Structure 1
Amino acid sequence: MILPHAVAEFCANVEMCRLTEQVVFSDPCKISEYNCWTSPYLDGDAEAIRNDNALKLEVAELKSMYILFCEKTQALIHGDLHTSSVMVTQDSTQVIDPEFAFYGPMGFDIGAFLGNLFLAYFAQDGHANDRKAYKEWIMNTISDTWNLFHKKFTSLWDIHKDGPGEAYLHEIYKDMELRELVKQKYMIGLFHDSLGFAAAKVIRQIFGVGHVEDFESIVDPVKRADCERCALDFAKSLFLLFRNFI
């Protein structure tokens, strides 16, 4: 159960949230002084994004879920999660740079991390040496990220099934079959949210302010644009299909 005082503690972070809302959901869909891309090779692609009404409808729904804490305060989230935020050793994992933290939709963090991995995957063909094995590792990491999160989250749900949470009261959902159905529906919704936010993050990193080194380190701009276009096409397809994934 998320306590009101806990949400209130992070409401003061509204300016950082507004910045994320601008650069992730708004700027890539319009002309903005902060936008930049591999020009002139992606000029037509940038214009296509600005004119893609179907994509903008999906962005609007994701944005309404995120904006101003108000629609999905599912958990305390990092707010700017990417692969460089995660410090890993054999024995521990630490996440740094929590200045964007607030209570919001869980799919935003998961999607942001997956989006970073998608970007890394599509960038590999722009580098000189053979990256086939590394691309396969990235895809396995994407799959493992969701599967391990799903396993851990649903395990905790089962452990605390009769806890103080009010969304799924034990006296209402004590029937095991019903509890499994509602848990499955919740996780499918969370998976859909994550894919949508991942797609938004990919587009933002190609056309918005602040790009990823995976692409920026590709010296040949034509090759870089080709890789970015592949990532963009994937993100656009994901936007149109993510609600159908199970």
Structure 2
Amino acid sequence: MPRFKHYNYDQDAMVVINYQEQLQPGTFEHAVHYLIEHKLDLSVFLPKYRNDDTGCTTYDPAILLKIILFAYSKGITSSREIQWCCETNIIFKALSCDTVPHFTTLAKFVSHHADEIEELFEQVLLVCHEQGLLGNELFAIDGCKMSSNAAKEWSGTFKELGEKREKLRRLVRHHLKAHHERDEAETEAELDRDIRQAKTILSLDESLKKVDRFLKTEKTGTDLFNGL
């Protein structure tokens, strides 16, 4: 019987890595990182921040945009799950530069910047489509990847690009809507859990008081009986 080296996918490991090197050129995640980090104008997000001189530092919109768009490409539309991915998944860690935005930060960003996010994601996805990078992602609109030769040039007429843009716009809008609804549902579920927990604690407290009164009454009655 052959003997093979033991391996265990559940093991933890301390590995020294460079996050930039995890974003391999020619992949969807590399394109998302490069375009958002180096090419697109994100100034539209800045006016809503008020911490120039005072207040805590906050997450760069570029970081949030990268991990949200990558999450959408994988069918993930929950702020809590995106936070978990940033804690555990190497590509999310690379895109977020090993930061872990809290799920409330992600939910607030999507809720407050939906229109700006939609417009920016359209640009990124159109470029990724022209590069043939959407074939294996949920944003694919043609059902297959472009050939490497076709990817080198912009394909189709402006009319065709307009049609592609409209399809991508609907996809982005769908994911943003699903993200918002998922976060609201999870918030409501969390609130329901808190209410149930509060009611349970109150019920336990009342039962404890009742039992305590009963035991004290019983003890008093027993003491009186023993004293006779």
Report which of the two has the higher share of strand.
1
Greater relative contact order (CA < 8 Å, ≥ 6 in sequence): 1
The TM-score, its normalising length taken from structure 2, stands at 0.30
Bigger radius of gyration: 2
State the TM-score, normalizing by the size of structure 1.
Answer: 0.28
